[in-house]
């Protein structure tokens, strides 16, 4: 099951451009590791997020969760794709906390992870977090 038609090359390119751009806005003075994320919703809207760090380190917000928060605030609940752009040699997948947040709004969707150095791979929410804890478990 998916939230729409297969993502086109043009849509992937739009998302990657958006993620690269928003990464420039990252607030990452502690790690120096900037991340940009762009989510495509079922209506074609693009929602962007960057990591926002804090002097109280545990409060750091990841780019992916920032993008989800922005999307939900705009009324988007169903997603077709996510692109995450990071610095460094290796493309990076969303962290564990972000995986759980991305799994909150099924169905699963494809995720493209891209590094500035050109490394990249495709995965998906369900591949990154099989057997996710979801709302169904709360129905006792
Ligand atoms: N970060 C993200 O934005 N997304 C991830 O999935 C992994 C980590 C950020 C958090 C922190 O600001 C920096 O990268 C280093 O961990």
pLDDT in tens, 63-74: 999 999 999 999
Residue 139 confidence (pLDDT) above 90: no
The pLDDT score that the predictor gives to residue 4 is 81
CA of 49 to the centre of ligand 1 (A): 11
> Which atom, in ligand 1's list, is nearest to the CA of 97?
6
Please identify every residue annotated as catalytic: 64
Residue 115 confidence (pLDDT) above 90: yes
> Which atom, in ligand 1's list, is nearest to the CA of 50?
3
CA distance 63 to 52: 7
Strand ranges in the chain using DSSP code E only, listed in sequence order: 35-41, 46-50, 79-86, 110-115, 120-124
Residue 3 confidence (pLDDT) above 90: no
Q: Is 54 in the pocket of ligand 1 (CB under 6 A)?
A: no
Cα 43–chain centre separation: 17
CA distance 5 to 17: 21
Rg (C-alpha) for the chain, rounded Å, is 14
Q: Is 35 in the pocket of ligand 1 (CB under 6 A)?
A: yes
Q: Is 95 in the pocket of ligand 1 (CB under 6 A)?
A: yes
Among protein residues, the one with the nearest Cα to ligand 1's atom 13 is 33
The pLDDT score that the predictor gives to residue 73 is 98
Q: Is 63 in the pocket of ligand 1 (CB under 6 A)?
A: yes
Structure tokens, 123: 């995965």
H helices present in 3-136, as ranges: 9-23, 63-73, 96-102, 125-128
Looking at residues 26-50, what average pLDDT do you find? Answer: 98
Residue 86 confidence (pLDDT) above 80: yes
Residue 1 confidence (pLDDT) above 80: no
Calculate the average pLDDT of the chain.
Answer: 96
């Amino acid at each position: 099951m998916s939230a729409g038609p297969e993502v086109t090359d043009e849509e992937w390119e739009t998302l990657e451009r958006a993620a690269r751009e928003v990464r420039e806005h990252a607030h990452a003075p502690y790690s120096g590791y900037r991340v940009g994320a762009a989510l495509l919703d079922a209506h074609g809207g693009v929602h962007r997020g960057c990591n926002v760090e804090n002097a109280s380190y545990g409060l750091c917000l990841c780019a992916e969760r920032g993008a989800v928060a922005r999307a939900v605030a705009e009324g988007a609940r169903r997603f077709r794709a996510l692109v995450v752009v990071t610095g460094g040699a290796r493309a990076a997948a969303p962290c564990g906390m972000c995986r759980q947040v991305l799994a909150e709004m099924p169905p699963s969707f494809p995720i493209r992870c891209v590094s500035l150095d050109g490394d990249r791979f495709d995965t998906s929410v369900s591949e990154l977090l099989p057997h996710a804890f979801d709302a169904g478990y709360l129905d006792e």
